[in-house]
Chain A
Amino acid sequence: MSTEIIGAKETAGSVSDHISSIVLKEKFGFKWYIGLTLGIIGTFTLFIAVTYLFMKGIGIWGNNIPVAWAFDITNFVWWIGIGHAGTFISAILLLLRQKWRTSINRFAEAMTLIAVVCAGIFPLIHLGRPWFFFWLLPYPNEQNMWPQFRSPLMWDVFAVSTYVLISFLFWFIGLIPDLAVLRDRAKKKPVRIIYGILAMGWRGSATHWQNYERTYFLLAALAAPLVISVHTIVSLDFAVSILPGWHSTIFPPYFVAGAIFSGFAMVLTLAIPLRKFFHLESYITLKHLENSSMVLLAMGLFVAYGYLMEMMMAWWSGDVFERHVAMNRAFGPYAWVYWCLVFCNILSPQILWSKSIRQNPLVLFLLSIVINIGMWLERFMIIVTSLHRDFLASSWGMFKPTVWDFLTLLGTIGLFVFLFMVFLRLLPMIAISEMQKLADEENK
């Protein structure tokens, strides 16, 4: 059982029946409505938080001098990190011919897009004068001014926007055949028309399939390097600076690993409830969970290595400031953050060495939550504990988050839930066409 990546009884027909019916059926379970309501509440919270922020200014948060970045950038990096698994799964695993990706790639990609949207909010609202955000874009203007291209923040702008664009295209191309299926199966005319427009006249002819395959692989090839590049650039925001605790060459690989780590954690956080509520056990099998948790374990070890190296480098550099930051992280006023994340990101994943746990959805679910928290704490540690005590003891400070800091974070989570619920309702959460192919191959 545990070795199969699709239920034995499933056929091309049953697949499309089951999945498309989820989208097309009139009524949706009340569980979904609960999710939606929570999402909407969260989204409103975000709306209020941001409105007040724009009225008053960054001062409503706990940020100060020296800690000029705190929750804002922490959240940004956290969401971007989460937004990695999707493309990783769909693009890289596709290129690696990993069949088991098929059933999880669709909602993973949706997750990616939504996460990146949440992430994208922060670089915008953390500006002191957000209404001038467009000064970060190169465009001809009266002041004859250009952005300052040496700044990593500029690289961010390009890296993230490219990533959004490619991931969206990739996701949408993948959707086209399924949209066609929905178009054909929908009962109501308006629904058929909408899906019809989105399907852009897909008839499933041989030429269509040929073009489709070519484009899809091409985009996969394009997207794959982006998975690496985006978080590398994000890590450069820190690595490029002079600040001990940021200025570190290990950051790019370490951040990418961390990103995939948190991404897969989020995939599990979503996949496990999904397969339960929508009875997808035969599509998202234990095999999927097991493979994902193996990736988790591997990335977890990678991240652990990263922490180790930071400490090691601090000691080895012999630099008084580097050493101080290392010590301050482990034993300073924010030590609890450090030890929490050591528990969340290093210790707790070790349980995945046992096969029985790798196949225990409940434990995996809880673990994935723990890891998500851990990864958020990691970014908090990197940003805040490096800033609050740097070179001159005279200007050391502390960071105390305000209620608005938390509301903004919760708000984006709400937005995430909301958009994801909408996605579940309107689009097939599993790639029908690909599953059909899989069904044909697996259950001959």
Chain B
Amino acid sequence: MYRKDLKTHWTSEDPSTEVLESLHREFPVDASIFEGPDSRRDFLKLMGASFALGGMNSCVRSPLEKIVSSVIAPVSVIPGKSIFFSRSLSQNGFGIGVLVESYMNRPIKIDGHPDHPMSLGASSVALQADILNFYAQDRIKIPLRKKFDSSWMAFHEDWKKYLIKNPAGEGLWILHEPDYSPGFHHMRSLFVSKFPQAQFISYDSIDSKRSEASELLFGRDLIPFFDFSKPKVILSFDYDFFSDPVSGLKYSRDFAKLRSKNKNRLYSVETDYSLTGAMADHRLARTHQSIQFLILQLAFELGVTLAHAELKIEDKEWIKSVAREFKKHHGEALIVGSEFLPPEVQALIYQMNEKLGAFQDSMSFVKSHAHPENKKKSDLYQALKNKKVSGLITLGVNPIYDSHINISKVPFTASLQQSENETTEQSYWVLPESHPLECWSDARSINGIITINQPLCSEMYDSKNTLEFLSLILDDHQSSHDFIKGLWGLSQNDWEKALRSGQLKKETVIEHPAFKKVKFTPPHTINNIELHLKADPYLYDGKFANNGWLQELPRPISKTCWGNVALLSPDLAKEKKLKNNDVVKISVDEISIEIPVWIQPGLADSAIIVNLGHGRKNQGKKYGTNAFKLLSEKRFFVLSADISKTGSVKEVACTQLHHNFPGTEPLRVVDLGDLKKVKKEDKNLPTLFPTAPIPQSEKYAWAMSIDLNLCNGCNACVIGCQSENNIPIVGEEQVKVGREMHWIRIDRYYEGPDYSKVHFQPMACVHCEKAPCEVVCPVGATNHNDEGLNQMVYNRCVGTRYCSNNCPYKVRRFNFLDYNDRYSRSLKLRSNPEVTVRSRGVMEKCSYCVQRISEAKINADLEDRNIRDGEIKTACQVVCPTQAITFGNLLDPKSEVSHKHAEAHSYGVLAELGTRPRTEYLYRVKNPQPDLLS
């Protein structure tokens, strides 16, 4: 299968050391990323590096280079060939299977594992971008005591001293990221057995009301787990299941199964504009509390409750017809709701599902594996108030930033972190944490698959992971490898098998529990403006604020990046006389933040959405505002707020403004009923552009097909492309002047009189057969190859930018400045060796991942065969959770892409210009309910 031939998966236990040491030598000791006078330069350090002579012409004599041979050739590493590690990465404590590419023992790319049910080869933005955290410049390199260099030894001494006072760990609190892996569970019990008084908190800064709801219903903590491949009708109450950090990939794939056949219908009632809302066939934008009334009303219509709500007449009608349809589809209907709804409301939704017979297949529950003796945050706050905390150890979590506690009075504080943050600033001991890719661990996926995670290389710095750290302070100094191996005690054979497949075993965690009825209490009312604080789709709770890819990735609907904004609806903006970029003061009793406004059509009126995770102190400090400030200790994420204009203005970095261009239809939408009526377009319109001067191959003609009906705008392809093709980030200022470098962008189009409907269109170079860019290049740096690729030759480009002017799709990207960081050599190690890193003054664009085509071609030639259909997958195609992207050979009539191009509703954007694009799109198909159309 595509370059991920399982034979090549790494199985040896400790990656060969000498290559690693040469790698150690390569690492500079340098400053953190966002610090320094010239911030542009500095955060370019976030990624990218250039070969010394990248883009130089051959008239320059290259300097002498060294060849470094290895001392002892590592087993199963063929120099110049990548190997792939099957492992998993943790998302909110649950593992997701990934395949990590390692080139000469350098991890360079993370993709989903094709065999792991929670990813099925796809991967989310967060998973993709984790590779950048591995190489982050500001990782803590050695233990620090009071900010001064120290050692683990010294820390251990201190720890022993601490234990003399508190032998049983009295008043010791350990805050750790949610981690449901067997390894951590075991380590925790070892720890508690030795220090019975120690308290653990599984610290999630954005704690939903899910567990409370589950307690209410089942008396224990269960997590709802859905199967979207079954239900024909789905209704989501403010729950964006596409972007669920744990199960989003699976949900997207499942949903796509029926959506690709137009066999399901999605309703969405939400406050914010989410991916789910954009995909929905019918969408209502309502505030948090009116959503609860709608739920109550639906429950009444479905005969779950007797109480019913007072609603506007159109809402009543809406619910009525929805209820009618759901009754019709008994057994194949599903209602999902936000985890931030009040517990009783969530309970009500579960009851409706039971009534609709969703419990048989499309809805089930899994164990949360949260440790029953875990304390709550509130307990910690209490203990701090009563000075009952003798020691506070924070493992990878950042409470000082996201909950305003004061630990200055705590006698012993230690913080194990990958990079400096607000908590390390106040901790006495700051300890370097290993990146998951450099140490052993195990993981449990939400559906119960156990994975044993092996490192891709030994630690780059003097760091430890959670297991090693706890083992250290338990005083039995086990390496994570010995601990995990000891824990599972497998035979060498099984052990290697587990490592190779990335799946040790599958526990059964699915349950269909019975639950007790709960009575619904009407929601507490907010009669003011409703403020929604949400986890940032990419930075989450600020964990990834230091990741340049994620900072620069446009938020799916608003297309803003580098900092957060206050999203509000046009009506509210009009009422408050606000326009984009106006800075407003949002205040929740006494506390207030200042933040620029961004007007977002399709939001619920009288609601403001603000993303959390921005305004970090030492990482990405210039970017955005810390909205955690507004949270009280109760940590309720929907608040009643006041908003007032400050008069000042801050320009927001945004990659796509909202323009109206009537008469053009780059993105085509059709109702399911009219799909049959769509006429096939003539693909060979007359054109004035000359044919490619070279003879076309009889074997291959590469082409792409993108199904707009499946694209949910999740942006995974953008990051997938960025990491595959060494695309630099450019920073806030450059984005503001319109110089972002993403080769593939997700165009967002609004539909309807109030622009309340959103559609997405991934747009990269469409590889025109008659490309306007080619004829105008004075040096022939962009031209056509015999397989229909519109190829861009960086080392020939002189940078007249004429090609971009003449490109109707404006998909060409220009290195206006030296965006690629040549200087921080650690980042060189990340970049993909198969792709030239572009110097300044050079045009670049989507190449259909030509490096993968070449590789496949060579492999095919070595085996004397043709390239098989599906053998080449472009980076964007691999990551896509809904498999909206197809790539292949048009000259092979049986290939998937040929079939898709043959569809009547397959069209080329701007084909009327005679460009003959090789990338074609399938219509976005809406499946509206007839009653609701009127």
Contact = CB atoms under 8 A, between A and B. Distances in A.
Interface string A234-259: 00010011110000000000000000
A207 interface: no
B842 A66 contact: no
Contact of A66 (B734, B780, B804): B804
A120 interface: no
Interface in B790-829: 796-802, 804-806, 808-818
A57 B840 contact: yes
B778 A128 contact: no
A401 to B, nearest CB: 11
A426 B836 CA distance: 53
A221 B798 CA distance: 36
A67 to B, nearest CB: 8
Contacts of B812: 65
Interface residues of B, number: 60
Contacts of A201: none
B666 A392 contact: yes
Contacts of A157: 778
A68 B909 CA distance: 22
Interface in B72-89: none
A132 B798 contact: yes
A59 B775 contact: no
B913 interface: yes
Given A129-B841, A394-B748, A241 B806 contact: yes
A147 B737 contact: no
Interface in A11-66: 56-60, 62-66
A69 interface: yes
A142 B776 contact: no
A393 interface: yes
B816 A58 contact: yes
Nearest to A388: B738
Interface residues of chain B: helix, strand, loop or mixed (majority): loop
A387 B805 contact: yes
B779 A390 contact: no
A396 B664 CA distance: 14
B763 interface: yes
A356 interface: no
A433 B530 CA distance: 88
B90 to A, nearest CB: 36
Nearest to B810: A395
Nearest to B802: A153
A152 B810 contact: no
B933 interface: no
Contacts of B778: 136, 147-148, 151, 153-154, 157
B663 A393 contact: no
Nearest to A387: B805
Interface in A152-185: 152-154, 157
B798 A397 contact: no
A380 to B, nearest CB: 15
Contacts of A128: 797-801, 814-815, 840-843
B808 A59 contact: no
Contact of B737 (A132, A321, A400): A400
Nearest to B772: A242
B809 to A, nearest CB: 6
B489 interface: no
B805 A129 contact: no
A56 B817 contact: yes
Interface in B202-221: none
Contacts of B818: 56-57
Contacts of A151: 775-778, 802
B656 interface: yes
A84 interface: no
A65 B801 CA distance: 9
A308 interface: no
Given A66-B738, A129-B799, A132-B798, A324 B842 contact: no
B657 interface: yes
A150 B841 contact: no
B49 to A, nearest CB: 17
Interface in B745-767: 745, 747-749, 761, 763
A188 B692 CA distance: 66
Interface string A391-409: 1111111101000000000
A130 B799 CA distance: 8
Interface in A352-402: 387, 389-398, 400
A69 B801 contact: yes
A277 interface: no
Given A129-B798, A320-B664, A392-B808, A135 B779 contact: yes
A96 interface: no
A288 interface: no
Interface in B410-438: none
Contacts of A59: 734, 739, 816-817, 840
Given A57-B840, A128-B798, A320-B664, A66 B810 contact: yes
Interface string B900-914: 000000000110010
A157 B800 CA distance: 13
B737 A129 contact: no
B816 A132 contact: no
B684 interface: no
Contacts of B804: 65-66, 68
B659 interface: yes
A127 interface: yes
A34 B467 CA distance: 78
Given A59-B739, A132-B57, A65 B813 contact: yes
Contacts of B666: 391-394
Contacts of A243: 805-806
Contacts of A148: 775, 777-780, 783
21 contacts: A57-B841, A65-B738, A65-B814, A66-B810, A127-B800, A128-B841, A136-B778, A136-B798, A145-B796, A151-B775, A153-B802, A237-B802, A241-B805, A241-B806, A242-B808, A391-B664, A391-B913, A393-B660, A395-B745, A395-B809, A398-B738
**7 closest Cβ contacts across the A-B interface?**
A128-B799, A128-B841, A59-B816, A59-B817, A68-B801, A148-B780, A394-B747
Interface of B: 55, 57-59, 656-657, 659-661, 663-664, 666, 690, 734, 737-739, 745, 747-749, 761, 763, 772, 775-780, 783, 796-802, 804-806, 808-818, 839-843, 909-910, 913
Interface of A: 56-60, 62-69, 126-130, 132-133, 135-136, 141-143, 145-148, 150-154, 157, 237, 240-243, 320-321, 324, 387, 389-398, 400
Given A147-B780, A152-B776, 20 more contacts: A58-B817, A59-B817, A60-B817, A65-B812, A65-B813, A68-B802, A128-B798, A128-B801, A128-B842, A129-B799, A135-B796, A148-B783, A153-B802, A240-B775, A391-B809, A391-B910, A393-B666, A396-B657, A398-B738, A400-B737
